[in-house]
């Protein structure tokens, strides 16, 4: 096994060595990680990486086929967008563990932070301890196994996939519901736990999407050749994109969704249209004397 000491190398240089060693089929141990961020990012070879300590944000992110073992804790986003392979964390994980995984297996031996498995597509995220709020947020597929308690709003806005909870289901999220477990599904969960040496509980509760909020009552109409109302002159307050968004919101009753959320959660000063010319506002330095 080859050793890489992060007390002597930067993470960038260490990751470059990991890629080379992975192509050569070498197993690697990372010494003195000191919770550094981005350890093992971008590996695409079937390499075994043992992190002797704690890793920081996005450990094992954007990887394929690699197998990681972290002896202590990890920060946010462990296994971010991991395609295949596995991560086993000996301690706790921060927020969004397993975010957007696409087939990987991630096992957290301790507790895990909020929004675990957010927008995951496939694969399995397993937590031997408790989850935090909104586990399975907006998940599209795959499986989450929680041996402890679910945390608040579990399954919030999930559209597919399954969440298995052995402890208390503390609070169901929006459009999530409890359902019966098929015997084959339960057997598959037990086989997964046995493969990673985790003692299986007596039973699980299963959470899936209820299917009541997958469609809006007023769909967004296809864009016209002229996507929004035009007028003569220029606007100093709303550019063409903002005008288009306002038109769509007026038709559908909601902001257009991009990425993880709406365009803006709160009004901005640029949303205000003034009737008076304010280009000279603030020019009077003694404005208090007029009050």
User: Strand, coil or helix: what is 73?
Assistant: coil
The burial class, CB within 10 Å (0-12 / 13-18 / 19+), for 198 is: middle
Residue 263: per-residue pLDDT: 47
Distance CA 242, CA 263 (A): 10
Q: Which two tokens stand for residue 99?
A: 């975010």
Residue 126 in this model has a pLDDT that exceeds 50: yes
Q: What is the CATH number of domain 2-209?
A: 2.160.20.60
Domain boundaries, the chain: 2-209, 217-291
Beta bridge partners of 49: 28, 68
User: Is 165's pLDDT higher than 70?
Assistant: yes
Q: Return the structure tokens found at 146.
A: 């929680």
| Spatial contact of 106 and 84, defined as CB atoms under 8 Å apart | no
Helix (H, G, I), strand (E, B) or coil at 126: strand
Scan for tokens 């498995």, then name that residue. 117
Name residues whose C-beta falls within 8 Å of residue 65's C-beta, 6 or more positions apart in sequence.
43, 44, 45, 46, 47, 83, 84, 85
Q: How far apart are CA 121 and CA 83, in angstroms?
A: 10
> Closest Cα partner for 138 from 46, 41, 261, 29?
261
pLDDT tens digits, one per residue of 226-262: 455 555 556 566 777 777 778 777 877 776 665 444 4
Name the pLDDT band for 279 (thresholds 50, 70, 90): confident
- Give the pLDDT of residue 229: 58
pLDDT number for residue 207: 98
Distance CA 118, CA 80 (A): 10
The encoded tokens of residue 143 equal 């499986």
pLDDT tens for 132-160 read 999 999 999 999 999 999 999 999 999 99
> Residue 213 has what pLDDT?
86
Q: Quick check: 73 and 110 in contact, CB under 8 A?
A: yes
Mean pLDDT of 261-283: 61
Higher pLDDT, 224 or 285: 285
Higher pLDDT, 218 or 115: 115
Confidence of residue 266 (pLDDT cuts 50, 70, 90): low
Cβ atoms of 9 and 33 within 8 Å: the answer is: no
- CB-based contacts of 256, cutoff 8 Å, min separation 6: 220, 245, 248, 249, 262, 263
Instruction: Give the three-state DSSP class for 77.
Output: coil
Q: Which of 48, 54, 10, 57 is nearest to 29 (CA)?
A: 48
């Amino acid at each position: 096994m080859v050793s890489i000491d992060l007390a002597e190398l930067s993470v960038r240089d260490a990751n470059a060595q990991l890629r080379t060693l992975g192509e050569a089929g070498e197993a690697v141990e990372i010494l003195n990680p000191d919770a550094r961020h981005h350890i093992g990012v971008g590996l695409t070879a079937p390499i075994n990486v043992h992190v002797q300590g704690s890793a920081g944000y996005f450990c094992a992110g954007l990887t394929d086929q690699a197998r990681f073992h972290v002896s202590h804790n990890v920060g946010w986003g462990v296994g971010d967008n991991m395609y295949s392979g596995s991560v086993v964390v000996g301690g706790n994980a921060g927020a969004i563990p397993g975010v957007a995984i696409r087939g990987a297996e991630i096992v957290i031996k301790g507790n895990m932070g909020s929004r675990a498995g957010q927008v995951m597509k496939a694969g399995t995220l397993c937590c031997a301890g408790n989850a935090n709020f909104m586990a399975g947020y907006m998940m599209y597929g795959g499986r989450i196994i929680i041996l402890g308690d679910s945390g608040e709003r579990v399954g919030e806005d999930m559209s597919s996939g399954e969440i298995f909870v052995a402890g208390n289901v503390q609070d169901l999220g929006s459009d999530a519901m409890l359902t019966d477990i098929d015997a084959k599904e339960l057997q598959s969960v037990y086989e997964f736990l046995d493969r990673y040496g985790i003692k299986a509980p007596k039973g699980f509760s299963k959470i899936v999407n209820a299917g009541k909020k997958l469609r809006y009552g007023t769909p967004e109409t296809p864009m016209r050749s002229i996507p929004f109302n035009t007028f003569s002159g220029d606007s100093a307050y709303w550019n063409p994109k903002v005008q288009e968004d306002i038109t769509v919101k007026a038709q559908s009753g909601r902001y257009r969704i991009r990425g993880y959320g709406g365009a803006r959660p709160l009004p901005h000063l640029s949303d205000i249209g003034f009737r008076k010319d304010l280009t000279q506002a603030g020019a009077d330095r003694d404005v208090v004397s007029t009050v």
